[in-house]
Amino acid sequence: MFDFDLAVLGGGPGGYVAAIRAAQLGQKVCIIEKDKLGGICLNWGCIPTKALLKNAEVYQTVKKADLYGINIKSISVNFKKNVDRSRSVAKQLSKGVEFLMKKNSITHFTGFGKLESENNINIIQKSINKRISAKNIIIATGAKPKAFQNIKIDGKYIIGSKEALNLVEIPKKIIIVGSGAIGCEFAFYFNSFGAEVEIIEMQKTILPMEDSEISAALKDSFISSGIKIHNNSKVQSIDKLKTKIKVNIVTENGNLQIDGNIALLAIGIEGNTNNIGLNGVGIKSENGSISINSHCQTNISNIYAIGDVAGPPWLAHKASAQGHMVADLIGGKSVHEIDYFNIPNCTYCQPQVGSLGLTESKAKDLGHNIKVGKFFFRASGKAMAVGNTFGFVKLIFDDQYGELIGAHIIGDGATEMIAELNMAKALESTWEDLAMTMHAHPTLSEAVMEAAMDAFGSAIHQ
Protein backbone atom coordinates (compact mmCIF):
# COMPACT_ATOMS: atom_id res chain seq x y z
CA MET A 1 0.00 0.00 0.00
CA PHE A 2 1.17 3.51 -0.78
CA ASP A 3 0.99 6.35 1.74
CA PHE A 4 -0.60 8.53 -0.93
CA ASP A 5 -2.29 8.19 -4.31
CA LEU A 6 -0.47 11.31 -5.46
CA ALA A 7 2.56 13.22 -4.19
CA VAL A 8 3.15 16.68 -5.63
CA LEU A 9 6.67 18.06 -5.40
CA GLY A 10 6.48 21.87 -5.35
CA GLY A 11 3.66 24.13 -4.18
CA GLY A 12 3.56 26.77 -6.95
CA PRO A 13 0.53 27.28 -9.23
CA GLY A 14 1.26 24.05 -11.12
CA GLY A 15 1.66 21.99 -7.97
CA TYR A 16 -1.14 23.34 -5.82
CA VAL A 17 -3.71 23.29 -8.65
CA ALA A 18 -2.81 19.65 -9.40
CA ALA A 19 -3.09 18.78 -5.70
CA ILE A 20 -6.51 20.43 -5.25
CA ARG A 21 -7.94 18.95 -8.45
CA ALA A 22 -6.71 15.45 -7.55
CA ALA A 23 -8.19 15.79 -4.05
CA GLN A 24 -11.51 16.88 -5.58
CA LEU A 25 -11.45 13.63 -7.57
CA GLY A 26 -11.08 11.61 -4.37
CA GLN A 27 -7.33 11.01 -4.41
CA LYS A 28 -5.28 10.93 -1.22
CA VAL A 29 -2.80 13.72 -1.91
CA CYS A 30 0.29 15.27 -0.34
CA ILE A 31 2.20 18.37 -1.38
CA ILE A 32 5.87 18.94 -0.55
CA GLU A 33 7.09 22.54 -0.50
CA LYS A 34 10.44 23.73 0.75
CA ASP A 35 9.37 27.35 1.04
CA LYS A 36 6.03 29.13 0.96
CA LEU A 37 2.98 27.67 -0.75
CA GLY A 38 2.11 29.56 -3.92
CA GLY A 39 5.61 29.22 -5.38
CA ILE A 40 7.36 31.94 -7.33
CA CYS A 41 4.10 33.10 -8.84
CA LEU A 42 2.33 34.16 -5.65
CA ASN A 43 5.39 34.99 -3.55
CA TRP A 44 8.06 36.37 -5.89
CA GLY A 45 6.61 36.62 -9.38
CA CYS A 46 3.24 37.33 -10.96
CA ILE A 47 1.38 38.73 -7.97
CA PRO A 48 3.90 40.91 -6.10
CA THR A 49 5.07 42.47 -9.38
CA LYS A 50 1.51 43.32 -10.32
CA ALA A 51 0.98 45.00 -6.95
CA LEU A 52 4.11 47.13 -7.53
CA LEU A 53 3.04 47.94 -11.06
CA LYS A 54 -0.36 49.06 -9.82
CA ASN A 55 1.37 51.34 -7.30
CA ALA A 56 3.45 52.80 -10.13
CA GLU A 57 0.34 53.33 -12.26
CA VAL A 58 -1.44 55.09 -9.41
CA TYR A 59 1.56 57.39 -9.00
CA GLN A 60 1.59 58.15 -12.72
CA THR A 61 -2.14 58.88 -12.68
CA VAL A 62 -1.87 61.12 -9.63
CA LYS A 63 0.95 63.03 -11.32
CA LYS A 64 -1.36 63.88 -14.23
CA ALA A 65 -4.42 64.52 -12.03
CA ASP A 66 -4.55 68.05 -13.42
CA LEU A 67 -5.69 66.58 -16.75
CA TYR A 68 -8.79 65.28 -15.01
CA GLY A 69 -9.48 68.61 -13.34
CA ILE A 70 -8.06 67.61 -9.99
CA ASN A 71 -5.48 69.80 -8.30
CA ILE A 72 -3.03 68.02 -6.06
CA LYS A 73 -0.67 70.45 -4.38
CA SER A 74 2.15 68.15 -3.46
CA ILE A 75 2.85 64.48 -4.03
CA SER A 76 5.45 62.37 -2.34
CA VAL A 77 6.25 58.68 -2.52
CA ASN A 78 6.68 56.32 0.41
CA PHE A 79 8.63 53.72 -1.55
CA LYS A 80 8.88 51.31 1.37
CA LYS A 81 5.11 51.36 1.80
CA ASN A 82 4.79 50.58 -1.92
CA VAL A 83 6.96 47.47 -1.35
CA ASP A 84 5.13 46.57 1.88
CA ARG A 85 1.79 46.52 0.05
CA SER A 86 3.20 44.11 -2.51
CA ARG A 87 4.63 41.84 0.20
CA SER A 88 1.38 41.83 2.12
CA VAL A 89 -0.67 40.85 -0.98
CA ALA A 90 1.78 37.98 -1.59
CA LYS A 91 1.55 36.84 2.03
CA GLN A 92 -2.25 36.93 1.97
CA LEU A 93 -2.37 34.77 -1.15
CA SER A 94 0.14 32.24 0.16
CA LYS A 95 -2.00 31.92 3.29
CA GLY A 96 -4.98 31.42 0.99
CA VAL A 97 -3.27 28.43 -0.64
CA GLU A 98 -2.49 27.03 2.82
CA PHE A 99 -6.19 27.28 3.61
CA LEU A 100 -7.11 25.50 0.36
CA MET A 101 -4.74 22.63 1.24
CA LYS A 102 -6.52 22.17 4.58
CA LYS A 103 -9.97 22.56 3.04
CA ASN A 104 -9.21 19.79 0.53
CA SER A 105 -7.57 17.52 3.15
CA ILE A 106 -4.21 17.64 1.38
CA THR A 107 -1.22 16.73 3.56
CA HIS A 108 1.30 19.55 3.44
CA PHE A 109 4.96 18.70 4.13
CA THR A 110 7.38 21.60 4.55
CA GLY A 111 10.77 20.43 3.36
CA PHE A 112 13.00 19.70 0.40
CA GLY A 113 11.81 16.67 -1.56
CA LYS A 114 14.08 14.34 -3.47
CA LEU A 115 12.95 11.36 -5.54
CA GLU A 116 14.45 8.13 -4.29
CA SER A 117 12.66 5.73 -6.59
CA GLU A 118 9.66 5.65 -8.91
CA ASN A 119 7.33 5.72 -5.92
CA ASN A 120 9.34 7.22 -3.10
CA ILE A 121 10.29 10.73 -2.06
CA ASN A 122 12.65 11.61 0.74
CA ILE A 123 11.64 14.85 2.47
CA ILE A 124 14.35 16.74 4.29
CA GLN A 125 12.75 18.83 7.03
CA LYS A 126 15.43 20.72 8.94
CA SER A 127 17.49 17.83 10.33
CA ILE A 128 14.75 15.19 10.07
CA ASN A 129 14.26 13.01 7.02
CA LYS A 130 10.86 11.59 6.17
CA ARG A 131 10.17 9.04 3.46
CA ILE A 132 6.78 8.88 1.77
CA SER A 133 5.45 6.67 -0.99
CA ALA A 134 2.96 7.52 -3.70
CA LYS A 135 1.35 5.72 -6.62
CA ASN A 136 1.84 8.77 -8.85
CA ILE A 137 4.20 11.71 -8.53
CA ILE A 138 4.02 15.16 -10.09
CA ILE A 139 7.23 17.20 -10.23
CA ALA A 140 6.40 20.91 -10.13
CA THR A 141 9.62 22.39 -8.77
CA GLY A 142 9.57 25.51 -10.96
CA ALA A 143 12.61 27.42 -12.15
CA LYS A 144 15.29 29.89 -11.09
CA PRO A 145 16.72 32.96 -12.80
CA LYS A 146 19.55 32.34 -15.24
CA ALA A 147 22.81 34.10 -14.52
CA PHE A 148 25.84 34.78 -16.69
CA GLN A 149 28.78 32.46 -16.09
CA ASN A 150 31.05 35.35 -15.18
CA ILE A 151 28.47 37.63 -13.55
CA LYS A 152 26.98 36.47 -10.28
CA ILE A 153 23.96 37.96 -8.53
CA ASP A 154 25.31 39.46 -5.27
CA GLY A 155 21.92 40.74 -4.11
CA LYS A 156 23.20 44.30 -3.69
CA TYR A 157 24.74 45.73 -6.86
CA ILE A 158 23.81 42.89 -9.18
CA ILE A 159 20.32 41.69 -8.45
CA GLY A 160 17.63 39.34 -9.74
CA SER A 161 13.85 39.83 -9.75
CA LYS A 162 13.49 38.71 -6.14
CA GLU A 163 15.80 41.46 -4.86
CA ALA A 164 14.19 43.98 -7.23
CA LEU A 165 10.82 43.26 -5.62
CA ASN A 166 12.27 44.04 -2.22
CA LEU A 167 14.28 47.21 -2.92
CA VAL A 168 13.05 49.74 -0.40
CA GLU A 169 14.85 52.71 -1.91
CA ILE A 170 14.46 53.94 -5.44
CA PRO A 171 17.82 53.39 -7.15
CA LYS A 172 19.23 56.50 -8.79
CA LYS A 173 20.07 54.51 -11.90
CA ILE A 174 19.25 50.90 -12.70
CA ILE A 175 20.52 48.97 -15.68
CA ILE A 176 18.20 46.18 -16.73
CA VAL A 177 19.76 43.34 -18.69
CA GLY A 178 17.12 41.55 -20.76
CA SER A 179 13.83 42.93 -22.02
CA GLY A 180 11.38 40.07 -21.84
CA ALA A 181 8.21 40.56 -19.80
CA ILE A 182 10.08 40.72 -16.48
CA GLY A 183 12.70 43.21 -17.70
CA CYS A 184 10.07 45.48 -19.28
CA GLU A 185 7.82 45.39 -16.21
CA PHE A 186 10.68 46.42 -13.92
CA ALA A 187 11.79 49.09 -16.43
CA PHE A 188 8.34 50.68 -16.28
CA TYR A 189 8.16 50.32 -12.49
CA PHE A 190 11.50 51.93 -11.65
CA ASN A 191 11.16 54.59 -14.32
CA SER A 192 7.70 55.51 -13.01
CA PHE A 193 9.13 56.15 -9.56
CA GLY A 194 11.88 58.36 -10.94
CA ALA A 195 14.86 56.04 -11.39
CA GLU A 196 17.00 56.46 -14.46
CA VAL A 197 16.58 53.22 -16.43
CA GLU A 198 18.72 51.77 -19.18
CA ILE A 199 17.82 48.47 -20.89
CA ILE A 200 20.35 46.23 -22.59
CA GLU A 201 18.91 43.64 -24.96
CA MET A 202 20.84 41.35 -27.29
CA GLN A 203 17.91 40.96 -29.72
CA LYS A 204 16.97 43.64 -32.22
CA THR A 205 13.74 44.54 -30.40
CA ILE A 206 12.51 44.69 -26.82
CA LEU A 207 9.90 42.03 -25.92
CA PRO A 208 11.54 40.01 -28.72
CA MET A 209 8.89 37.27 -28.73
CA GLU A 210 6.12 39.73 -29.61
CA ASP A 211 4.94 40.90 -33.01
CA SER A 212 7.53 43.41 -34.26
CA GLU A 213 4.99 46.27 -34.48
CA ILE A 214 4.05 45.75 -30.84
CA SER A 215 7.71 45.69 -29.77
CA ALA A 216 8.39 48.85 -31.75
CA ALA A 217 5.41 50.64 -30.19
CA LEU A 218 6.52 49.67 -26.68
CA LYS A 219 10.02 50.85 -27.44
CA ASP A 220 8.69 54.24 -28.62
CA SER A 221 6.62 54.56 -25.47
CA PHE A 222 9.53 53.63 -23.19
CA ILE A 223 11.87 56.04 -24.97
CA SER A 224 9.36 58.86 -24.62
CA SER A 225 9.22 58.08 -20.86
CA GLY A 226 12.97 58.56 -20.69
CA ILE A 227 14.07 54.91 -20.67
CA LYS A 228 17.25 54.33 -22.69
CA ILE A 229 17.38 51.15 -24.76
CA HIS A 230 20.36 49.39 -26.32
CA ASN A 231 19.25 46.68 -28.75
CA ASN A 232 21.62 44.26 -30.49
CA SER A 233 23.87 44.68 -27.45
CA LYS A 234 25.53 42.04 -25.30
CA VAL A 235 26.76 42.39 -21.74
CA GLN A 236 30.38 41.25 -21.42
CA SER A 237 31.06 41.95 -17.76
CA ILE A 238 30.08 44.14 -14.86
CA ASP A 239 32.70 45.98 -12.77
CA LYS A 240 31.78 46.69 -9.18
CA LEU A 241 33.29 49.91 -7.90
CA LYS A 242 32.90 51.39 -4.40
CA THR A 243 29.56 53.09 -4.90
CA LYS A 244 28.51 52.14 -8.40
CA ILE A 245 28.81 49.60 -11.19
CA LYS A 246 30.08 49.75 -14.74
CA VAL A 247 28.39 47.51 -17.26
CA ASN A 248 30.57 46.67 -20.23
CA ILE A 249 28.58 45.98 -23.36
CA VAL A 250 29.30 45.19 -26.98
CA THR A 251 27.00 47.02 -29.35
CA GLU A 252 26.73 47.14 -33.14
CA ASN A 253 28.90 50.24 -32.99
CA GLY A 254 31.58 48.89 -30.70
CA ASN A 255 32.20 48.62 -26.99
CA LEU A 256 30.40 50.79 -24.48
CA GLN A 257 30.60 51.25 -20.75
CA ILE A 258 27.46 52.22 -18.86
CA ASP A 259 27.51 53.52 -15.29
CA GLY A 260 24.74 52.73 -12.86
CA ASN A 261 23.97 51.99 -9.22
CA ILE A 262 22.36 48.59 -9.67
CA ALA A 263 22.14 46.03 -12.47
CA LEU A 264 19.07 43.82 -12.65
CA LEU A 265 19.56 40.56 -14.54
CA ALA A 266 16.39 39.42 -16.32
CA ILE A 267 17.86 37.15 -18.96
CA GLY A 268 15.59 34.14 -18.55
CA ILE A 269 15.19 31.16 -16.29
CA GLU A 270 16.16 27.49 -16.03
CA GLY A 271 14.30 24.59 -14.45
CA ASN A 272 14.91 23.48 -10.85
CA THR A 273 16.15 20.05 -11.85
CA ASN A 274 19.22 19.83 -9.61
CA ASN A 275 19.35 17.59 -6.54
CA ILE A 276 15.78 16.34 -6.88
CA GLY A 277 16.83 12.81 -7.75
CA LEU A 278 16.16 12.81 -11.50
CA ASN A 279 19.31 10.90 -12.40
CA GLY A 280 18.84 8.24 -9.72
CA VAL A 281 15.34 7.45 -11.00
CA GLY A 282 16.36 7.80 -14.65
CA ILE A 283 14.09 10.72 -15.54
CA LYS A 284 15.18 12.37 -18.77
CA SER A 285 15.78 16.08 -18.98
CA GLU A 286 17.18 18.36 -21.65
CA ASN A 287 18.63 21.88 -21.40
CA GLY A 288 17.49 22.26 -17.81
CA SER A 289 13.89 21.11 -18.40
CA ILE A 290 12.32 17.72 -17.71
CA SER A 291 11.25 16.03 -20.96
CA ILE A 292 7.51 15.30 -21.14
CA ASN A 293 4.90 14.05 -23.61
CA SER A 294 1.62 15.78 -24.45
CA HIS A 295 0.15 14.53 -21.15
CA CYS A 296 3.13 15.88 -19.16
CA GLN A 297 4.27 12.32 -18.52
CA THR A 298 8.01 11.78 -18.14
CA ASN A 299 9.76 8.67 -19.47
CA ILE A 300 8.78 7.01 -16.15
CA SER A 301 5.07 6.32 -16.60
CA ASN A 302 3.80 7.23 -13.10
CA ILE A 303 5.89 10.41 -12.85
CA TYR A 304 4.71 13.65 -14.43
CA ALA A 305 6.36 17.07 -14.72
CA ILE A 306 4.46 20.34 -15.06
CA GLY A 307 5.04 24.08 -15.09
CA ASP A 308 8.37 25.86 -15.40
CA VAL A 309 10.46 22.76 -14.68
CA ALA A 310 8.96 21.14 -17.78
CA GLY A 311 10.10 23.92 -20.14
CA PRO A 312 8.63 26.95 -21.88
CA PRO A 313 6.45 28.89 -21.99
CA TRP A 314 7.32 29.85 -18.41
CA LEU A 315 3.91 31.08 -17.40
CA ALA A 316 1.78 30.49 -14.34
CA HIS A 317 -1.42 29.82 -16.30
CA LYS A 318 0.37 27.16 -18.35
CA ALA A 319 1.62 25.55 -15.13
CA SER A 320 -1.84 25.45 -13.56
CA ALA A 321 -3.50 24.22 -16.78
CA GLN A 322 -0.98 21.37 -16.93
CA GLY A 323 -1.59 20.63 -13.23
CA HIS A 324 -5.33 20.45 -13.80
CA MET A 325 -4.91 18.20 -16.84
CA VAL A 326 -2.55 15.76 -15.12
CA ALA A 327 -4.78 15.52 -12.05
CA ASP A 328 -7.76 14.74 -14.28
CA LEU A 329 -5.74 12.12 -16.12
CA ILE A 330 -4.60 10.45 -12.89
CA GLY A 331 -8.13 10.71 -11.49
CA GLY A 332 -9.51 8.80 -14.48
CA LYS A 333 -11.23 11.72 -16.20
CA SER A 334 -11.08 12.37 -19.92
CA VAL A 335 -8.73 15.29 -20.45
CA HIS A 336 -8.51 18.38 -22.58
CA GLU A 337 -5.02 18.45 -24.01
CA ILE A 338 -3.23 21.77 -23.66
CA ASP A 339 -3.39 23.90 -26.79
CA TYR A 340 0.13 25.32 -26.82
CA PHE A 341 -0.82 27.60 -29.74
CA ASN A 342 -3.41 29.40 -27.66
CA ILE A 343 -1.53 30.51 -24.58
CA PRO A 344 -1.82 34.22 -23.78
CA ASN A 345 1.36 36.21 -23.15
CA CYS A 346 0.92 39.29 -21.03
CA THR A 347 3.30 42.06 -20.02
CA TYR A 348 1.88 44.35 -17.38
CA CYS A 349 3.96 47.50 -17.82
CA GLN A 350 2.22 50.59 -19.19
CA PRO A 351 1.37 50.39 -22.01
CA GLN A 352 0.38 46.78 -21.41
CA VAL A 353 0.89 44.04 -23.98
CA GLY A 354 -1.33 41.00 -24.51
CA SER A 355 -0.91 38.52 -27.32
CA LEU A 356 -1.51 34.99 -28.49
CA GLY A 357 -1.02 32.80 -31.55
CA LEU A 358 1.09 33.77 -34.53
CA THR A 359 2.88 37.05 -35.14
CA GLU A 360 2.53 38.51 -38.61
CA SER A 361 6.01 37.41 -39.67
CA LYS A 362 5.60 33.89 -38.21
CA ALA A 363 2.26 33.49 -40.00
CA LYS A 364 3.91 34.44 -43.30
CA ASP A 365 6.89 32.15 -42.64
CA LEU A 366 4.46 29.28 -42.09
CA GLY A 367 2.90 29.96 -45.50
CA HIS A 368 -0.43 31.40 -44.35
CA ASN A 369 -2.21 33.78 -46.68
CA ILE A 370 -3.18 36.38 -44.16
CA LYS A 371 -5.44 39.34 -43.65
CA VAL A 372 -4.35 41.78 -40.96
CA GLY A 373 -6.76 44.12 -39.21
CA LYS A 374 -5.82 46.98 -36.90
CA PHE A 375 -7.60 49.47 -34.75
CA PHE A 376 -5.83 52.30 -32.96
CA PHE A 377 -7.06 53.40 -29.54
CA ARG A 378 -6.70 57.02 -30.64
CA ALA A 379 -9.98 56.44 -32.54
CA SER A 380 -11.72 54.80 -29.57
CA GLY A 381 -14.29 56.89 -27.70
CA LYS A 382 -13.64 54.98 -24.47
CA ALA A 383 -9.89 55.44 -24.72
CA MET A 384 -10.41 59.18 -25.16
CA ALA A 385 -12.85 59.31 -22.26
CA VAL A 386 -10.42 57.60 -19.90
CA GLY A 387 -7.54 59.70 -21.16
CA ASN A 388 -5.24 57.01 -22.53
CA THR A 389 -5.24 56.63 -26.30
CA PHE A 390 -1.87 54.97 -26.81
CA GLY A 391 -1.73 51.66 -28.66
CA PHE A 392 -3.70 49.41 -30.96
CA VAL A 393 -5.24 46.01 -31.55
CA LYS A 394 -3.76 43.94 -34.36
CA LEU A 395 -5.52 40.76 -35.48
CA ILE A 396 -4.25 38.20 -37.95
CA PHE A 397 -6.64 35.97 -39.86
CA ASP A 398 -6.06 33.17 -42.31
CA ASP A 399 -7.55 34.39 -45.57
CA GLN A 400 -9.11 31.07 -46.62
CA TYR A 401 -11.82 30.79 -43.97
CA GLY A 402 -11.13 34.02 -42.09
CA GLU A 403 -10.02 32.11 -38.97
CA LEU A 404 -8.26 34.02 -36.21
CA ILE A 405 -4.63 32.85 -35.97
CA GLY A 406 -2.94 35.67 -34.02
CA ALA A 407 -3.94 38.54 -31.76
CA HIS A 408 -1.73 41.35 -30.48
CA ILE A 409 -2.75 44.27 -28.30
CA ILE A 410 -0.73 47.12 -26.86
CA GLY A 411 -2.36 49.71 -24.65
CA ASP A 412 -4.26 50.23 -21.44
CA GLY A 413 -6.27 47.10 -20.56
CA ALA A 414 -4.50 44.85 -23.11
CA THR A 415 -3.92 42.08 -20.55
CA GLU A 416 -7.66 41.85 -19.81
CA MET A 417 -8.81 42.31 -23.41
CA ILE A 418 -6.74 39.39 -24.69
CA ALA A 419 -9.09 36.94 -22.89
CA GLU A 420 -11.84 37.50 -25.47
CA LEU A 421 -9.44 36.58 -28.25
CA ASN A 422 -8.25 33.57 -26.30
CA MET A 423 -11.79 32.25 -26.23
CA ALA A 424 -12.34 33.23 -29.86
CA LYS A 425 -9.26 31.27 -30.91
CA ALA A 426 -10.24 28.27 -28.78
CA LEU A 427 -13.59 28.22 -30.60
CA GLU A 428 -11.86 28.61 -33.99
CA SER A 429 -13.70 31.88 -34.53
CA THR A 430 -13.53 33.84 -37.76
CA TRP A 431 -13.26 37.59 -38.34
CA GLU A 432 -17.03 37.64 -38.82
CA ASP A 433 -17.66 36.05 -35.42
CA LEU A 434 -15.60 38.83 -33.83
CA ALA A 435 -16.98 41.60 -36.01
CA MET A 436 -20.62 40.60 -35.68
CA THR A 437 -20.56 39.94 -31.94
CA MET A 438 -21.99 43.06 -30.36
CA HIS A 439 -19.47 44.75 -28.06
CA ALA A 440 -20.72 47.10 -25.37
CA HIS A 441 -20.26 50.78 -26.10
CA PRO A 442 -18.16 52.50 -24.99
CA THR A 443 -15.50 49.92 -24.16
CA LEU A 444 -11.89 49.42 -25.12
CA SER A 445 -12.97 45.97 -26.37
CA GLU A 446 -14.79 47.60 -29.27
CA ALA A 447 -11.29 47.93 -30.73
CA VAL A 448 -11.25 44.13 -31.14
CA MET A 449 -14.48 44.23 -33.14
CA GLU A 450 -13.20 47.12 -35.26
CA ALA A 451 -9.85 45.42 -35.91
CA ALA A 452 -11.71 42.31 -37.12
CA MET A 453 -13.80 44.48 -39.44
CA ASP A 454 -10.69 46.27 -40.67
CA ALA A 455 -9.08 42.99 -41.74
CA PHE A 456 -11.83 42.48 -44.28
CA GLY A 457 -12.32 46.12 -45.22
CA SER A 458 -15.37 47.08 -43.18
CA ALA A 459 -14.03 49.11 -40.23
CA ILE A 460 -16.41 51.89 -39.29
CA HIS A 461 -14.36 54.23 -37.15
CA GLN A 462 -11.11 54.59 -39.06
Ligand X SMILES: Cc1cc2nc3c(=O)[nH]c(=O)nc-3n(C[C@H](O)[C@H](O)[C@H](O)COP(=O)(O)OP(=O)(O)OC[C@H]3O[C@@H](n4cnc5c(N)ncnc54)[C@H](O)[C@@H]3O)c2cc1C
Q: Please report, as ranges, the residues that interact with ligand X according to CB under 6 A.
A: 9-15, 32-35, 39-41, 45-46, 49, 112-113, 140-143, 161, 182, 272, 276, 307-309, 314-317, 319
Name the phi and psi angles at 439, rounded to 5: -110, 135
Cβ proximity to ligand X: between 314 and 377 the closer is 314
CA end-to-end span of the chain: 68
Tell me if 182 sits within 8 A of 316, measured CB to CB: no
Q: How far is the CB of 429 from ligand X (least distance, A)?
A: 24
E strand intervals along 35-106: none
Tell me if 139 sits within 8 A of 302, measured CB to CB: no
Among left, alpha and beta (phi > 0; psi -120 to 50; other), residue 356 is beta
- Which of 428, 376, 446, 455 lies closest to 437 in space, CA to CA? 446
Tell me if 396 sits within 8 A of 376, measured CB to CB: no
Q: How far is the CB of 18 from ligand X (least distance, A)?
A: 9
- Which of 294, 302, 291, 298 lies closest to 335 in space, CA to CA? 294
Cβ proximity to ligand X: between 63 and 131 the closer is 131
Tell me if 303 sits within 8 A of 121, measured CB to CB: no
CB neighbourhood size of 176 (10 A): 27
Q: How far is the CB of 350 from ligand X (least distance, A)?
A: 14
Per DSSP, the three-state class of 413 is coil
317, 324, 441, 461: the catalytic one is: 441
Q: Is 368 a catalytic residue?
A: no
Q: Side chain identity at 43, as an amino acid letter? A: N
Q: How far is the CB of 159 from ligand X (least distance, A)?
A: 12
Cβ proximity to ligand X: between 15 and 171 the closer is 15
Sign of torsion over alpha carbons 402, 404, 405, 411: positive
Cβ proximity to ligand X: between 143 and 258 the closer is 143
Cβ proximity to ligand X: between 8 and 435 the closer is 8
Q: How far is the CB of 359 from ligand X (least distance, A)?
A: 19
- Which of 116, 109, 120, 128 lies closest to 31 in space, CA to CA? 109
Cβ proximity to ligand X: between 176 and 455 the closer is 176
Q: How far is the CB of 346 from ligand X (least distance, A)?
A: 6
DSSP-derived letter for residue 336 is P
The Cα 191–Cα 354 span in angstroms is 21
The Cα 361–Cα 364 span in angstroms is 5
Active site residues: 441
